[in-house]
Amino acid sequence: MTQAILFDMDGTLFQTDLILEPALEATFEVLRKERQWQGETPIEKYREIMGVPLSVVWETLCPNHSLELRNKSNDIFQQQLITLISKHRGALYDGVEETLAFLSERYPLFIASNGYIEYLAAIVEAYQLQRFIQQTYSIQSIASGNKSELVELVKTEHQIQGGFVVGDRASDIQAAKDNHFTSIGVRFDFAQDSELQYADHVVDSFKDIVKVI
């Protein structure tokens, strides 16, 4: 196996924004009831940092909370997300299934995501992505929480010599560069032009990935 394509999940394959607000709202509602939070849910702040490791998410959203409370908040958030996924409240981006079906006949495909194992498994199961994806890798596999090291893990385990990393954030682009892959940035919901400018290629439609590859 010499060439492969690695995909990010949130904001690349899966429209996380469809379940983000209700899951985050439910989490902070619990915190409000327990008098651990006052004011509105910081949804916009979360959108700004979407794609970073979840430990960073809760440090950013709840800087004055203890590690124990942050971990509890994250557990609630994860369960809310999974519940919404199981109810098909989320969705894949337009063209994802067709494009993955086409590419899977030509390349081994993998997911390398900052999402947690149970969360990613819920999406894969709900949308039957195992039809196209050989294996899903979570950032939980890497103690450092570094996306470049996660891509390196996939590369090593499957003896991949080159290929593509597809994602919407700077960490995806950097992971491609660090592992000598070609980066394809997707300009979807959470993407920022300031980060995508460093990608080797940028697409506005998932189907356009085929043209690049």
Q: Domain end: 47, 67, 86, which one?
A: 86
Q: Domain end: 71, 86, 101, which one?
A: 86
Q: Are both 122 and 195 inside the same structural domain?
A: yes
| Residue range(s) defining the domain that contains residue 100 | 3-15+91-212
Q: HEC states along the chain?
A: CCEEEEECCECCCECCHHHHHHHHHHHHHHHHHCCCCCCCCCHHHHHHHCCCCHHHHHHHHCCCCCHHHHHHHHHHHHHHHHHHHHCCCCCECCCHHHHHHHHHCCCCEEEEECCCHHHHHHHHHHCCHHHCCCEEEEHHHCCCCCHHHHHHHHHHHCCCCEEEEEECCHHHHHHHHHCCCEEEEECCCCCCHHHHCCCCEEECCHHHHHHHC
Q: Are both 108 and 45 inside the same structural domain?
A: no
Q: Are both 159 and 197 inside the same structural domain?
A: yes
Q: Are both 52 and 155 inside the same structural domain?
A: no
Q: Are both 123 and 192 inside the same structural domain?
A: yes
Distance, CA of 202 to CA of 182 (rounded, Å): 11
Write the burial class of residue 100 (CB in 10 Å: 0-12 exposed, 13-18 middle, 19+ buried). Answer: buried
Q: Are both 56 and 151 inside the same structural domain?
A: no
Q: Are both 70 and 114 inside the same structural domain?
A: no
Q: Domain end: 39, 58, 86, which one?
A: 86
Q: Are both 124 and 186 inside the same structural domain?
A: yes
Q: Are both 71 and 42 inside the same structural domain?
A: yes
Distance, CA of 126 to CA of 103 (rounded, Å): 20
Distance, CA of 140 to CA of 146 (rounded, Å): 10
Q: Are both 82 and 95 inside the same structural domain?
A: no
Contact 27, 76 (CB under 8 A): yes
pLDDT in tens, the chain (213 residues): 589 999 999 999 999 889 988 999 999 999 999 999 999 999 889 878 776 677 888 999 999 999 999 999 999 999 999 999 999 999 999 999 999 999 999 999 999 999 999 999 999 999 999 999 999 999 999 998 899 999 999 999 999 999 999 999 999 999 999 999 999 999 998 778 888 999 999 999 999 999 999
In the chain, how many domains are there? Answer: 2
Residue 109 belongs to domain with CATH number:
3.40.50.1000
Q: Are both 127 and 189 inside the same structural domain?
A: yes
Q: Are both 60 and 98 inside the same structural domain?
A: no
Closest CA to 45 of 55, 57, 33: 57
